[in-house]
Amino acid sequence: MVRKFQRLWADFDPEGTGYILVEDLENLICSHIIDKTHWIRGGEVLLRSQKLLKNFVCLLELPMYHKYCHFNYYDVLSRFAQTIFKVDFEKFVQDHYNRINRDKK
């Protein structure tokens, strides 16, 4: 998954600076959804709603650099990974809870 992230990041950072423009982040997110990299699971809904996409970007709470014009590679990668873990953990807990309730019946 990290290699796919690197490949898609390079589309927006061809010189390998480690930074992309703030306005390119939404396109990067859409690229991951379209490429089905699993960084953003269930993200197809974000492709249909610009408002939801902007909200998702805000929820990432990424620091900005260079006079608020850029995002950093490691920050974005880290937040994507944390988002996946949170979704997977919540699903794990819900599945476990469902299993326990099913076994009680």
First to last CA, the chain: 40
> What CATH number does residue 62 fall under?
1.10.238.10
CA 99 to CA 101: how far, in whole Å?
A: 5
Higher pLDDT, 35 or 74: 74
Question: Which pTM value belongs to this model?
Answer: 0.76
Domain range enclosing 96: 2-104
Residue 76 confidence (pLDDT) above 60: yes
**Is the sign of the CA dihedral 52, 54, 57, 58 positive or negative?**
negative
89 band by pLDDT with thresholds 50, 70 and 90? low
Structural domain total, the chain: 1
pLDDT (tens digit per residue) in 34-70: 877 666 766 788 888 899 889 889 989 999 999 999 9
Q: Three-state DSSP class for 38?
A: coil
